[in-house]
Chain A
Amino acid sequence: MKEVVVLSGKGGTGKTSVVACFAALAKHSVLADCDVDAADLHLLLQPVIREKYDFWSGQVALIDEDKCTQCGLCQETCRFKAIKDFRVVSVSCEGCGFCARICPAGAITMKENMAGQYFISDTNYGTLVHARLGIAQENSGKLVALVRQKARALAEKQAAEYIISDGPPGIGCPVISSLSGASLALLVTEPTLSGIHDLERVLEVCRHFDVPALVCINKYNINEDNTYRIENYCRCQGVDVIARIPFDKVVTEAMVHGLPVVKYCDGKVSRQINLLWQNVVERLTVRKGEHHADIRV
């Protein structure tokens, strides 16, 4: 079983549209939406929710106003400025429990925090594990780790060949949580200066966590000079650019229809994504007698 995670650094480069196509093209795969903060994959895969679970994570302080003597010690001690006027500002509370331990009146307790939900769903293209982080909750990467763990267990049970994960933007905790231990990272970028800058950073993260990376340039014809720059940069870094996808309004049209582009029409975009998936599969296929590390790029 191989796990491909699609990342980008910069948001809005086309991760989810690519993942939805992979889902439609791959046979025997389990799908995971690791962007728990602003999940969109379900809009293209139209899942029917089969199982639903609450996700409990961390704690939040609660002050009992009857016991509180307003001595102010908690306010002084809290490094997250989460207590104001003897009340807990729950969005700022990081659940360390320091206040509860030092309160001389014993007025503070820590309560468990419901941080979101996760779902196991059926789609036309295979099982999807997805989640919804609670509003304004901390995205520590724990929910992402849970989504991946469930996807892996399901993939093993179904003897699926691939796990295809839609990753979050950025380079922080949720990205690290989506990436560590994956077989391959596909980095979707766009030929803008922001896209290039963010690609460089996310590529460094891949190196840091020792996950082989491949690059795909989406909307390559928006600025072909920048497309060459990305290809040059990747060549210098020893990273392969395995596809160029043109800008085309059909991508948004497919989104409006709630379909992966490859299921919506047969144009240039679909052909390129088809080739891209074949390339990814080739990279993931370990030939006989060849160690996994040998296909690293």
Chain B
Amino acid sequence: MIISVASGKGGTGKTLVATSLALSLKDRCRVQLLDCDVEEPNDHIFLRPVIAGSEAVCIPVPRVDETKCTHCGKCAEVCAYHAIVVFSKHVLIFPHLCHGCGACSYLCPEKAITEIGKEIGVVESGYADSIDFVQGKLSVGEAMPVPVIRKVKEQVDQEGISIIDVPPGTSCPVVESIKGGDFCLMVTEPTPFGLNDLILAIETVKTLGIPCGVVINRVGDGDGKVEEYCLRENLPILLTIPLDNEIARLYSRGVTLAEGMPEWKAKFTGLYDRIQEIVDERSRCLKR
């Protein structure tokens, strides 16, 4: 079972939910936590994992063998990202624009282009108690998080439960993180910003055809419009977390809800049971 924890708006409590869910389930079955928020990964702050391995994430960028190159300009013509400029005696490559599609090297008539790896980040893996932990980290100054996310997701273990912490927003990194999952948990807050971004994020998940449910964090603040929206759209509200000084203080110190207030563990296992029910029900419907 792959559960993605997403939000649209940043700072609504994705990390809080993802880490507490993982900790609450770890005694029941194999649990894996994958932090796909590679621009700002935070799960490690809460789980303090032992990092056992680290692997560089590279994207293939072209290198031109000037002795073979006839400066025909084919590579520049085929590059959709304008990452290659060909002069009469020289080829200029802009690696930060390259997406690594491979068209230039394949289509070069002189076979003058090879590909070399350019490091854009790392994927670290390890464990926190019995939780398998994986996180991606985009290098500072690099623009493209998607290849790092892809690499993190290669480590998804099909056995047991995999929890994916998704970056905020609604665009490509979010799609890459959620894609292929069984369920998407949307964490939001009951404010106009929370609602606006929830609606956008739900639209994104809908394009992927993945079932979703909502967690409302900091209930007691804001207004009741998020609940109204969920009712109207038939989105199940699976858990609510109140606006509470103690919860905020724990979070600020990097302590999860499952550890700082153990009574929450049962609520998170209950949350998982409801997700399981929804996913099972759906697969029964699909079979029919």
Contact surface of A with B, Cβ cutoff 8 Å: 9-13, 16, 37-38, 40, 43, 58-59, 77, 79-80, 91-92, 94-98, 101-102, 133, 135-139, 141, 168-173, 175-176, 190-194, 197-198, 201, 204-205, 208-209, 222-223, 226, 249, 252, 255-256, 258
Q: Is the CB of A10 within 8 A of B40?
A: yes
Q: With the chains together, A173 CA to B106 CA distance in Å?
A: 27
Q: A43 is contacted by which of B143, B192, B204 (Cβ under 8 Å)? A: B192
Among A40, A133, A176, A197, residue most surrounded by chain B Cβ atoms (within 10 Å): A40
Q: B196 is contacted by which of A43, A58, A208 (Cβ under 8 Å)? A: A43
Contact flags (1/0) for B243-256 with A, using CB distance below 8 Å? Answer: 00000110111100
Q: Is the CB of B170 within 8 A of A12?
A: no
Q: A101 is contacted by which of B103, B144, B200 (Cβ under 8 Å)? A: B103
Known contacts: A138-B172, A173-B143. The answer to whether A256 contacts B222 by CB under 8 A is: yes
Instruction: Report the count of interface residues on B (CB-CB < 8 A).
Output: 58
Chain A residues positioned under 8 Å from B174 (CB to CB): 136
Q: Is the CB of A258 within 8 A of B192?
A: yes
B213 at the interface (CB under 8 A from A): no
Q: Is the CB of A12 within 8 A of B12?
A: yes
Q: Is the CB of B103 within 8 A of A98?
A: yes
Which are the 8 A-B pairs with shortest beta-carbon distances? A11-B10, A12-B11, A96-B101, A170-B39, A139-B171, A223-B252, A193-B254, A98-B103
From B220, which residue of chain A is reached at the shortest CB distance? A249
Q: Is the CB of A205 within 8 A of B140?
A: yes
Chain B residues positioned under 8 Å from A168 (CB to CB): 169
B53 at the interface (CB under 8 A from A): no
A-B CB contact pairs (8 Å), 18 listed: A38-B9, A38-B197, A40-B193, A58-B80, A91-B175, A97-B78, A133-B170, A135-B200, A136-B207, A141-B143, A170-B167, A172-B145, A173-B144, A194-B45, A197-B40, A205-B140, A208-B141, A255-B192
Q: Is the CB of A80 within 8 A of B101?
A: yes
Q: A137 is contacted by which of B42, B172, B223 (Cβ under 8 Å)? A: B172
Q: Is the CB of B193 within 8 A of A11?
A: no
Chain B residues positioned under 8 Å from A194 (CB to CB): 15, 40, 42, 45, 251, 254
B274 at the interface (CB under 8 A from A): no
Known contacts: A171-B40, A222-B249. The answer to whether A96 contacts B10 by CB under 8 A is: no
Q: Is the CB of B204 within 8 A of A198?
A: no
B30 at the interface (CB under 8 A from A): no
Q: With the chains together, A159 CA to B254 CA distance in Å?
A: 47
Q: Is the CB of B171 within 8 A of A37?
A: yes
B191 at the interface (CB under 8 A from A): yes
Q: Is the CB of A205 within 8 A of B141?
A: yes
Chain A residues positioned under 8 Å from B179 (CB to CB): 91-92
From B225, which residue of chain A is reached at the shortest CB distance? A256
B119 at the interface (CB under 8 A from A): no
Q: With the chains together, A252 CA to B10 CA distance in Å?
A: 15
Chain B residues positioned under 8 Å from A198 (CB to CB): 40, 42
